Amino acid sequence: MSYCLNPTCPKPINHPKAKNCRACGAKLLLHGRYHLVKGLGKGGFGATFLAADLSLPGNPLCVIKQLRPNTDNPNFLSMARELFEREAKTLGRIGNHPQIPRLLDYFEDRQQFYLIQEFVKGNNLQQEVKKNGVLNETQIRQVLKEILVILKDIHAQKVIHRDIKPANIIRREIDNRLVLIDFGVVKNQGNTVAGGDATALTAFAVGTPGFAPPEQLAMRPVYSSDVYALGVTCIYLMTGKAPKNLECDPITGEIDWFKNIKVSDSFVDILTQMLEVSVKNRYKTADEVLQALDIEHHVDSLAESIISHTKVEEPRSSPLSRTNSLPLRRNIIPNPRQAGSRTAHRFGDRISPLGKNSSRNRLTLNSKRTAGGLDRNAAREKPKPVKVEAEIIIDAYATGRRDFGLKDLSRQDLQKSELAESNFQNSIMIKTNFQSADLSFCNFSSSDMRQAILRNAKLNRAFFVEVNLEGADLRGANLSEANFDRCKLKGVNLSGANLTNAKIDKEQLETAKTNWLTILPNGRRGFW
């Protein structure tokens, strides 16, 4: 069929081959090239359509956003035109991101503004929940981290999304990655910017009730506003309930979301701080949330490593006995809830172990307690890594073990193994074969991994601080958000590797091998 763009048309649906609308007579072909197939949605500021681009081979599909100001005031139209062009240019910049639809074109036609964007095939997260049910904590964490990385990038461009919600996050069918859509372009109210700077574009009361925080509804959005909306999105994905259907505190107005789900205490703390009504108490940026998630993951393994390094005597019954420190962890890292602290489930009355640098304090506390009373020379002495066979590591992981620090795994065959979230700190893995293994979120800090085979391995969010990776094969590896701080990369093969948002500098990359298939930290392919 063909769809008429005239906002006042009584019958916009037409025959596929029609050139003019039979109801109002308007031309159906937009800008001489876009054939509108169907309407996708509409609101007070415009409408969205699915269209075919007849000027390109194969007539690829695209999304057309029609932005129509509800006024004939010439002054407002002039201002709207200026803001529209500025916002389109902003979208053009951030549209280079691999998880944001590209801006293909923008123009004005008969006092209406049009944005043409890339069509993303897939279901949004709201549709997924309705079809497949709610997500568990592991799935939520993955969604949270993926969207936080996107927010970190757009915030760096000084853009606030203002409408984070499940319906605006699409799981792209072709690669299963999440794509953030609908940036609320020129969803403004004209009197808001009268006499003000056009950058006040971010200050319009745009957003979805329940997902938008108070300061955004008061037309004072900040980067933290997107963090709040993402927190509410996580609650929806875990409960299947819209914010209006959740209980709230009658005094503070805060959502009592924790009554509806079961997640780990540390994750409760992170979500709680994301959902703080007060901007002052909320995470200020997406990067702060990512750091909290990262610290939460590594704090226990780092604490255990400190413990293992300072123990005077080690049981010798098993090559893995040195890392069996779970009972020690319970004694050293106190549970604030068991220690009589105020509950961490209430927004306005809580003590968060991950908020306000307390994770750093936990590590400091652990190191002081483990080092206190011990011989200083023994604490400084670095134990020799224990030789361990690949089968022992695989069997131990299957039984729930995750700490494999201070192990010698040189030349072992661990290809295609599932070892996600393991600790390999201070280990020797020279020429170890990890091809196609799942090593996501692993801690390799201070390890020797020269000439290790890591081709096509999953290493997203891996910790490579002070690791020697000289001559390693990382072709096609997923290294997104990995930390290569002070890591030696001379001769490393990164051809086709994904380094999106990895912590790695230009000097390190210059010592490694890359090609046009390498995805750099900025999301672009090719050489730096």
Which among 149, 160, 278 has a CA at the least distance from the CA of 223?
160
Which among 500, 467, 464 has a CA at the least distance from the CA of 481?
500
Please tell me which residue in 163, 226, 403, 473 is annotated as part of the active site: 163
Exposure pattern of 166-189 as b/e (b: 16+ CB <10 Å)?
bbbbbbbeeeeebbbbbbbbbbbe
Q: Which two tokens stand for residue 524?
A: 């672009």
The DSSP code for 523 is S
Which among 373, 345, 173, 153 has a CA at the least distance from the CA of 261?
345
By CB neighbour count within 10 A (0-12 exposed, 13-18 middle, 19+ buried), where does 219 fall?
A: middle
Residue 163 appears among annotated catalytic residues? yes
Which among 488, 393, 403 has a CA at the least distance from the CA of 443?
403
Residue type, 373: G
Residue type, 250: P
- Distance of alpha carbon 509 from alpha carbon 411, whole angstroms: 26
- Distance of alpha carbon 390 from alpha carbon 392, whole angstroms: 5
Q: Kindly give, in sequence order, each residue whose CB lies less than 8 Å from that of residue 380, ignoring residues fewer than 6 positions away.
A: none
Residue type, 281: N
- Distance of alpha carbon 352 from alpha carbon 342, whole angstroms: 10
Residue 369's Cβ-side half-sphere holds a number of Cα atoms within 13 Å equal to: 16
Cα separation values, 242 from 126, 227, 231, 235, 388, Å: 10, 17, 13, 9, 51
Q: How many helices (H) and strands (E) does the chain have?
A: 12, 13
Residue 158's Cβ-side half-sphere holds a number of Cα atoms within 13 Å equal to: 8
- Distance of alpha carbon 333 from alpha carbon 335, whole angstroms: 7
Angle (deg, nearest 10), helices 223-239 and 265-274: 130
Residue type, 305: S
- Distance of alpha carbon 35 from alpha carbon 29, whole angstroms: 5
Give CA angle at 319 (314, 323), nearest 5°.
60
Catalytic residues: 163
